[in-house]
């Protein structure tokens, strides 16, 4: 594998760059803001990861052209900006292998990352890297396991071998739909779990929410042809458990703030909010029963109070599990 390129110098992209560099890989990290790129080059630090120093083997650039010699290129940009980044830099990125590291569904088109890559950069092979992980853990070399999804098995095997490190273990699948949807939908459930805890409904309620939320995730994914085994793996159930139970999760913290009627920094990316809106609209159009997702979307948009959402969920008809 040649030099690894990473588009996006946020917490996750930078953490991956550090993990690869520490494993002896050559890495180029691109920051959209040239000023930020210059600052990182100078200090070898990032505001997103406290007390972490970037290895000297990471080349930090503010020019996307510097990713030209890289393959694969990992796209560590927010889901809602992925299409814009690919469109703006199509000439540079329409080749090789593009690995999406974002989780969610595009609010405008309702598409996942591999569909956006395929449409915008048809000459590139799309893949997805997803699963239960926090950037700080990856950057500090703590053991982490992720799912690498690629429809082409040979490319997937090459990526698995080239991107795995002694502390970053990748499991391979060809089910890109399942991996994408697991990573996207768990963020919605994390917001709901945060609301449960923030409102003071208790741990038992959170356990019930996670369980019923997982069923909801499987229901939606099956409607898109995803494999049940994928949702039961790292990119689905594993990621769901992590983000629904840890305050390191931005989506969980956002839900807690909603439940406590507290301030939440609007500059923090919360992928689950846009995903809830997009998936709720799709579910309504396709007749897929998604009560938790619908409730989260209604609460976020101010169309329903948290108290009303809880009352509606608890008054649903009893049925077999």
pLDDT tens, position by position, 222-278: 999 999 899 999 999 999 999 999 999 999 999 999 999 999 999 898 999 999 999
Catalytic-role residue among 42, 103, 186, 319: 186
239 and 298 together in one domain:
yes
The C-alpha atoms of residue 179 and residue 181 are separated, in whole angstroms, by 6
pTM: 0.93
Number of domains in the chain: 2
9 and 125 together in one domain:
yes
161 and 116 together in one domain:
yes
For residue 320, tell me if it sits in a domain.
Answer: no
Q: What is the pLDDT of residues 58-106, one digit of tens each?
A: 999 999 999 998 999 999 999 999 999 999 999 999 999 999 999 999 9
> Considering 139, 174, 209, which residue would you say is the last residue of a domain?
174
What are the C-alpha distances in Å from 188 to residues 52, 170, 194, 213, 290?
A: 30, 24, 10, 9, 11
Phi, psi of 50 (to 5 degrees): -70, 140
For residue 273, the enclosing domain spans 185-314
For residue 321, tell me if it sits in a domain.
Answer: no
CATH of the domain at 249: 1.10.1040.10
For residue 319, tell me if it sits in a domain.
Answer: no
> Considering 135, 154, 174, which residue would you say is the last residue of a domain?
174
Q: Tell me: pLDDT of 57 over 90.
A: yes
226 and 160 together in one domain:
no
110 and 249 together in one domain:
no
Looking at residue 238, what is its pLDDT? 97
Rg (CA), the chain: 19
> Considering 174, 200, 215, which residue would you say is the last residue of a domain?
174
CB neighbour burial string for 212-239, b if at least 16 within 10 angstroms, e if fewer: bbbebbbebbbeeebbeebbebbbbbbb
Is 42 a residue of the active site? Answer: no
């Amino acid at each position: 594998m040649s030099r690894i390129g990473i588009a996006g110098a946020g917490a996750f992209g930078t953490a991956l760059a550090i993990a690869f560099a520490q494993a002896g890989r050559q890495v180029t990290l691109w920051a959209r803001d040239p000023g930020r790129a210059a600052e990182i080059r100078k200090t070898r630090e990032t505001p997103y990861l406290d007390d972490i120093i970037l290895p000297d083997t990471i080349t930090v650039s503010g020019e996307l052209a510097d990713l030209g010699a890289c393959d694969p290129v990992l796209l560590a940009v927010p889901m809602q900006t992925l299409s814009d980044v690919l469109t703006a830099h199509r000439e540079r990125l329409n080749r090789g292998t593009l690995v999406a590291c974002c989780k969610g569904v595009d609010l405008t088109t309702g598409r996942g990352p591999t569909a956006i890559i395929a449409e915008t950069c048809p000459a590139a092979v799309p893949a997805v890297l997803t699963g239960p992980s926090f950037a700080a853990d990856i950057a500090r070399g703590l053991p982490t396991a992720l799912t690498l999804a690629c429809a082409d098995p040979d490319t997937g095997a090459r990526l698995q071998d080239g991107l795995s490190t002694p502390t970053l273990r990748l499991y391979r699948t060809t089910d890109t739909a399942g991996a994408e949807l697991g990573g996207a939908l768990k963020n919605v459930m994390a917001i709901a779990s945060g609301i449960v805890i923030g409102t003071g409904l208790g741990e038992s309620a959170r356990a019930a929410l996670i369980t019923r939320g997982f069923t909801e995730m499987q229901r939606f994914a099956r409607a898109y042809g995803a494999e049940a085994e994928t949702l039961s793996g790292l990119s689905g159930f594993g990621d769901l458990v992590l983000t629904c139970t840890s305050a390191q999760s931005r989506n969980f913290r956002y839900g807690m703030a909603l439940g406590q009627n507290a301030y939440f920094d609007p500059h923090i990316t919360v992928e689950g909010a846009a995903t809830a809106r997009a998936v709720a609209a799709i579910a309504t159009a396709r007749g897929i029963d998604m009560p938790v997702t619908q409730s989260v979307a209604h609460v976020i948009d101010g169309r329903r109070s948290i108290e009303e959402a809880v009352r509606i969920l608890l008054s649903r008809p009893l049925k077999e599990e």
